[in-house]
């Protein structure tokens, strides 16, 4: 047996060595080609590699002169191939173009918004979705996407929360890495590979007041411990490109931020790809007040480490002049060009520059739509289910009322950032419910034309439909246009008269199941008291209808969990699970409720803790929360031993039993607290999670292995350290759990 183990170890080491040698040899060959090409390039041709422009029309002369590196938003394959032919055959050096597009959550087959994908807590499934998106995009000649967005955000007012993976760096890292690997595949030169772009570097999600593009003020330790880890994970996953953010960070705009783009990304993390600006963000250094003019903007952005300029023209206008005058050294130009050309060689563009759509499967094929349906099903989060009203039993229903502005909204269910999605390809919830139950059983009355409707014209028909039915399926939320870039909301309650619609339908006394489609958490706690069940569906994509019907009618048990904390009211924002304890932490015992205590007994000295006297300190729903059609019991939570040394791997385990009658998936979550640190530590932090399938009546033993290094943080000198001391851990179904496992690190 020992000889066999030894042989296996030798074989594994040999395979690793061979793989490493192959990679090193490939890189050496690319380096040789890149250096040879740079030696032949004029300064104009070098600067051309730093330029990205929108659209392909009228660009032939630029391409012929070698003055363009990448083209945005051209999806006509004939136009692409023609422009690529000019680059390959008519330019002096034959350097190919990269065609780029925002492929954010699907191409023609639209997946749930990224926030919804995060709610699956299933990185493997998210990876499959990204790979499918890459295949569809490649069939239209797109070789580079500006995704994933891995900005941690704790403010649901921010419109772009829809485009990211929520409030936690561990979950965001896992989803970001899965997306990158799905897009890029095993090799960038693969037939189905699409170049990923980790964005927005950095801390874009921490914009003040949730206003897009706004100021960010983040202490460096918080920047490194909360906002940067997903980007570091992206480097380790070999993301080919990064995008500089629009925002400023502590007074320095990200696009001209040498600390971020050079010190952290290049020097500390050894990033080998290239950095592209966001749309015109180089020029916007002037608007920020960080650059005197466009020339100064070009200098500050380029010397900070932004290699390619998107859309605006500062580089092409001023870089040559600055090199010739000695302000910018040509070797700095060479470094940026070297990074860009290296990626182009890795992508195989020099060998395979053209696109033949016949090499790819049809978009929106059955397999792709089924994958979209699977991801959407797992993204649905059951927030409430009183009296087990769900799942519905078709045979027990005489009539079902389908009400609400989002029941049959084929465009809105696709969500934000869907350049290539078409509402004609959507299957809506109304259609799916009619298919499942039969049209004769379904009474449809939208009640409101859109989510923002401010009149009651449709209420009467909706109320009548409810009265005729055994159950009401109420589709509420916000239209897709209400979230996304530059679509921030100060009031994140249900828009329009939707809460009034809920009240009127509730008066009928019929059971109400609300399905919420939205690009962010919404606050409607009071109205929710009139609902029997709430299924949070985000914007689920092309196959929203079948996915929602699958869960409503019990074909699939809901398994989604919240990737972001839901506030009770907008005034609680920011509210997130990984908060600090403070010197006067709030508790149920210390919270004085201003509406429940008589004036003469209301003494602030009694409740002298960090709560709101009107809304307390707890959220509506905690991070990681989500119900199922079954119940899970956690027991035997334990750590392998009580004391670990620095450098060890900590072993945790728990037994999870499906105590109900329904087969289901559960997201098992591990949280840890460092009790004392040289910097104060959060009350708990997600360390790991696993999504497991457990049949009814069965149990699963779930193990976690956590290196002590992952429990570290940045100290006062910004060194990453894991400090010795006492820790608590807890394993459960959401972040609102007891930490009852004790261990010590020496």
Same domain, 533 and 664: no
301 and 284 Cβ atoms separated by less than 8 Å: no
Identify the helix (H) or strand (E) that includes residue 157: none
Q: What integer is the mean pLDDT of 55-67?
A: 93
Which one of 102, 151, 225, 278 is the catalytic residue?
Answer: 278
- Tell me the CA distances in angstroms from 503 to 445, 494, 509, 528, one per residue in order: 16, 13, 11, 10
Find the angle CA(375)-CA(380)-CA(385) to the nearest 5 degrees: 155
Same domain, 409 and 497: yes
Same domain, 643 and 547: no
User: Tell me: the pLDDT tens digits for 266-312?
Assistant: 999 999 999 999 999 999 999 999 999 999 999 999 999 999 999 99
Same domain, 440 and 534: yes
Where residue 412 sits, what CATH number does that domain have? 3.40.50.1700
User: Tell me: the pLDDT tens digits for 80-137?
Assistant: 999 999 999 999 999 999 999 999 999 999 999 999 999 999 999 999 999 999 999 9
Q: 330-346 and 294-304 are packed helices; what angle lies between their axes, rounded to 10 degrees?
A: 60
Same domain, 548 and 636: no
Tell me the pTM. Answer: 0.96
User: Tell me: the pLDDT tens digits for 639-685?
Assistant: 999 999 999 999 999 999 999 999 999 999 999 999 999 999 999 99
**Residue 548: inside a domain:** yes
SS3 call for 154: coil
**Residue 449: inside a domain:** yes
149 and 164 Cβ atoms separated by less than 8 Å: yes
Instruction: Respond yes or no: is residue 278 known to be catalytic.
Output: yes
For residue 466, is pLDDT > 90? yes
Same domain, 546 and 643: no
Find the angle CA(660)-CA(662)-CA(663) to the nearest 5 degrees: 115
**Residue 379: inside a domain:** yes
pLDDT band at 443, cuts 50/70/90? very high
Q: Which of 552, 581, 612 is the last residue of a domain?
A: 552
User: Tell me: the pLDDT tens digits for 172-204?
Assistant: 999 999 999 999 999 999 999 999 999 999 999
pLDDT band at 22, cuts 50/70/90? low
**Residue 525: inside a domain:** yes
**Residue 567: inside a domain:** no
**Residue 256: inside a domain:** no
For residue 419, is pLDDT > 90? yes
Q: What integer is the mean pLDDT of 385-393?
A: 97
pLDDT at 503: 98
Q: Which of 510, 529, 552 is the last residue of a domain?
A: 552
Same domain, 515 and 374: yes
Same domain, 643 and 540: no
Q: Which of 507, 528, 552 is the last residue of a domain?
A: 552
Q: In whole angstroms, what separates CA 217 from the centre of its chain? A: 22
pLDDT at 7: 56
Structurally, the chain folds into a number of domains equal to 2
Same domain, 379 and 516: yes
**Residue 529: inside a domain:** yes
Beta strands in 574-684 (DSSP E): 632-639, 643-644, 649-658, 664-674
**Residue 79: inside a domain:** no
Domain region containing 412: 369-552
pLDDT at 594: 67
Average confidence score pLDDT of the chain: 95
Same domain, 652 and 536: no
Same domain, 518 and 393: yes
CB neighbour burial string for 66-103, b if at least 16 within 10 angstroms, e if fewer:
bbbbbbbebbebebbbebbebbbeebeeebbbbbbbbb
Same domain, 395 and 541: yes
DSSP string, 288-334: HTSSSSHHHHHHHHHHHT--BEESS-HHHHHHHHHHHTTSS-HHHHH
Where residue 647 sits, what CATH number does that domain have? 2.60.40.10
Give the Cβ contact number of residue 526 at 10 Å: 13
């Amino acid at each position: 047996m020992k000889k066999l183990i030894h042989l296996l170890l030798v074989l594994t080491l040999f395979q690793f060595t061979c793989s490493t040698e192959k990679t090193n040899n490939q890189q050496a060959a690319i380096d040789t080609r890149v250096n040879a090409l740079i030696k032949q390039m004029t300064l104009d041709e070098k600067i051309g590699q730093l330029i990205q422009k929108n659209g392909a029309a009228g660009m032939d002369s630029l391409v012929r002169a070698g003055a363009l590196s990448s083209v945005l938003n051209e999806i006509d394959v004939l136009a692409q191939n023609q422009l690529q032919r000019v680059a390959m055959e008519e330019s002096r050096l034959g350097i190919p173009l990269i065609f780029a597009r925002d492929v954010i959550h699907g191409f023609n087959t639209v997946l749930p918004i990224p926030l919804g994908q995060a709610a699956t807590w299933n990185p493997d499934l998210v990876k499959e979705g990204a790979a499918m998106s890459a295949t569809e995009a490649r069939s239209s000649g797109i070789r580079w996407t500006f995704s994933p967005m891995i900005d941690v955000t704790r403010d649901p007012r921010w419109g772009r929360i829809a485009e990211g993976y929520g409030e936690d760096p561990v979950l965001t890292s896992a989803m970001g890495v899965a997306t990158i690997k799905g897009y890029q595949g095993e090799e960038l030169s693969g037939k189905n590979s699409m170049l990923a772009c980790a964005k927005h570097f950095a801390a874009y999600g921490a914009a003040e007041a949730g206003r897009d593009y706004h100021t960010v003020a983040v202490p460096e330790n918080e920047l490194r411990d909360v906002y940067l880890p997903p980007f570091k994970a992206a480097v380790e996953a070999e993301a080919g490109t990064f995008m500089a953010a629009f925002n400023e960070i502590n007074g320095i705009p990200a696009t001209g931020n040498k600390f971020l783009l050079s010190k952290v990304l290049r020097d500390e993390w050894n990033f080998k790809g290239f950095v592209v600006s966001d749309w015109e963000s180089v020029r916007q250094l002037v608007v920020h007040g960080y650059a005197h003019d466009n020339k100064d903007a070009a200098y500050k952005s380029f010397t900070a480490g932004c290699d390619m300029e998107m859309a605006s023209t500062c580089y092409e206008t001023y870089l040559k002049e600055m090199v010739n005058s000695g302000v910018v050294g040509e070797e700095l130009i060479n470094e940026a060009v070297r990074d860009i050309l290296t990626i182009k060689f890795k992508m195989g563009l020099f060998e395979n520059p053209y696109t033949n759509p016949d090499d790819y499967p049809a978009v929106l094929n059955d397999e792709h739509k089924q994958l979209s349906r699977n991801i959407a099903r797992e993204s649905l989060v059951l927030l409430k289910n009183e009296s087990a009203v769900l799942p519905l039993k078709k045979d027990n229903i005489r009539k079902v009322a389908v009400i609400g502005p989002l029941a049959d909204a084929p465009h809105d269910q696709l969500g934000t950032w869907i350049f290539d999605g078409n509402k004609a390809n959507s299957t809506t919830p109304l259609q799916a419910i009619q298919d499942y139950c039969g049209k004769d059983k379904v009474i449809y009355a939208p009640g409101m034309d859109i989510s923002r409707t401010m009149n009651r014209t449709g209420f009467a028909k909706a109320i009548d439909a409810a009265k005729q039915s055994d159950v009401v399926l109420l589709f509420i939320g916000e239209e897709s246009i209400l979230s996304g870039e530059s679509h921030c909301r100060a009031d994140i309650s249900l828009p329009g008269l939707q809460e009034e619609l809920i009240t009127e339908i509730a008066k009928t006394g019929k059971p109400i199941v609300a399905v919420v489609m939205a690009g962010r958490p919404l606050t409607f706690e009071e109205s929710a008291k009139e609902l029997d069940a709430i299924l949070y569906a985000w914007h689920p994509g092309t196959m929203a209808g079948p996915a929602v019907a699958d869960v409503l009618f019990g074909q699939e048990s809901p398994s989604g969990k919240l990737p972001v904390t839901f506030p009770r009211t907008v005034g609680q924002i920011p509210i997130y699970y990984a908060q600090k304890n403070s010197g006067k932490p709030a508790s149920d015992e210390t919270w004085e409720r201003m509406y429940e205590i008589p004036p003469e007994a209301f003494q602030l000295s009694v409740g002298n803790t960090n709560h709101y006297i009107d809304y307390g300190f707890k959220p509506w729903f905690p991070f990681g929360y989500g119900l199922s059609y079954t119940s899970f019991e956690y027991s035997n939570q334990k750590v392998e031993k009580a004391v670990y040394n620095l450098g060890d791997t900590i072993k945790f385990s728990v037994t999870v039993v499906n105590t109900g009658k329904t087969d289901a998936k559960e997201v098992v979550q591990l949280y840890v607290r460092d009790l004392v640190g040289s910097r104060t530590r959060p009350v708990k932090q997600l360390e790991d999670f696993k999504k497991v399938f457990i049949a009814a009546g069965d149990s699963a033993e779930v193990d976690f292995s956590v290196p002590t290094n992952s429990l570290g943080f940045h100290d006062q000198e910004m060194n990453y350290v894991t400090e010795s001391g006492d820790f608590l851990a807890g394993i459960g179904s959401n972040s609102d759990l007891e930490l009852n496992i004790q261990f010590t690190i020496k």
